[in-house]
Homo-oligomer: A and B are copies of this chain.
């Protein structure tokens, strides 16, 4: 049976292990600590640093495919692994579009994928000119990574610019400006593509954010016009093809009065796809394994008319397990997922999934369970 190496040991690698167990595929993990989420549930763990090429080479030796739990591996290291003869999915040429927002925007613009207005900026004057042209607020994004844990800043007006520019430009982080999009809601499309160029798309979902964190995913996106859903899937599959993505690609989009705009890309299992564990015939984690091993892809069809996933955020009381009793008794059909991570306020520590026929009922069930697991409060 093949061995798949995963660089990074968060909850995405952890949930991939559930799919790997079913298929008899062995996972080998590069983790920074044996306490990480995935390292707790995978036997073959190598401790190391994803920025260290020799650690990556040690991991890769004997693996049939290499993939990622996150986007932080240096592009050059990925190229080096491929040059060594390893099957790395996605490849460096694809993954750079999920690592560098300016490279992503340039490429999407070139292939005609709809994007907000954007420009690389290096000075307050350039930001001000962008705002004068496209209107305020202006969204500033770190092209790669971020600064002080943040990668996105919203500058509401020309007047507010000097203070923000001082701080962010002063940090030396390369920036780009984007037009603020007055969106109606956010959608996400998850697609998979394999080296032999088979592609599949999951149904389009709505993602609900609070304070910049995804709190809920509604599958399928309620009330979405089927033609617009098809457009969204076509955009995502086109991006996967044009960028030569192998594995999963999550495309986050804004739905606006004038159409869809691509917001962000991720090339790995994605929070917007956790609902697929129970809600789709093939979970995103199984699909990713099938894609990176160049196996035929699985059916992305839904297993229920309505599926809602709600993230569980850490609250003040770390004893999440004590709250299982109420949640499981209250709703014997709710599916509870806990990532084995230390509980810290606001941190994603798990999720719940509810399935059914009626959106409002299913959504209320998911929200109740997620809120209770987070805070112990019956709402």
Chain B residue with Cβ nearest A351: B22
Chain B residue with Cβ nearest A34: B43
Q: Which of A131-139, A215-223, A234-242, A330-338 contacts B (4 or more CB under 8 A)?
A: A330-338
A22 with B335, Cβ < 8 A, contacts A17-B41, A41-B17 known: yes
Please tell me if A377 contacts chain B, counting CB pairs below 8 Å: no
Quick check: B24 and A350 within 8 Å, CB to CB?
yes
Residues of chain A in range 295-346 having any CB-CB distance to chain B below 8 Å: 295-299, 301, 303-304, 320-321, 324-325, 328-329, 332-333, 335-340
Quick check: A26 and B1 within 8 Å, CB to CB?
no
Complex contacts, A332 vs chain B, CB 8 Å: 281-282, 296-299
Complex contacts, A328 vs chain B, CB 8 Å: 290, 295-298
B interface footprint on A273-284 (CB within 8 Å = 1, 0 otherwise): 000010001100
CB of A199 to closest CB in B, whole Å: 12
Chain B residue with Cβ nearest A2: B321
Residues of chain A in range 257-280 having any CB-CB distance to chain B below 8 Å: 277
Quick check: B338 and A24 within 8 Å, CB to CB?
yes
Complex contacts, A303 vs chain B, CB 8 Å: 303-304, 355
Complex contacts, A325 vs chain B, CB 8 Å: 295-296
Quick check: B22 and A336 within 8 Å, CB to CB?
yes
Chain B residue with Cβ nearest A319: B1
Count chain B CB atoms within 10 A of each CB in A43, A45, A297, A301 and give the residue with the most. A43
Complex contacts, A22 vs chain B, CB 8 Å: 18, 277, 335-338
CB of A361 to closest CB in B, whole Å: 15
B interface footprint on A1-24 (CB within 8 Å = 1, 0 otherwise): 110000000000011011011111
Complex contacts, A338 vs chain B, CB 8 Å: 1, 22-24
Please tell me if A107 contacts chain B, counting CB pairs below 8 Å: no
Quick check: A21 and B17 within 8 Å, CB to CB?
yes
In the complex the two chains form, what is the Cα distance from A45 to B41 in whole Å? 11
Binding site for B on A (CB under 8 A): 1-2, 14-15, 17-18, 20-24, 26, 40-43, 45, 277, 281-282, 290, 295-299, 301, 303-304, 320-321, 324-325, 328-329, 332-333, 335-340, 350, 355
4 closest pairs, A vs B, by CB? A24-B338, A296-B329, A296-B328, A299-B332
| 9 interchain pairs, CB-CB under 8 A | A1-B320, A2-B321, A17-B41, A18-B22, A22-B337, A26-B340, A281-B335, A296-B329, A298-B332
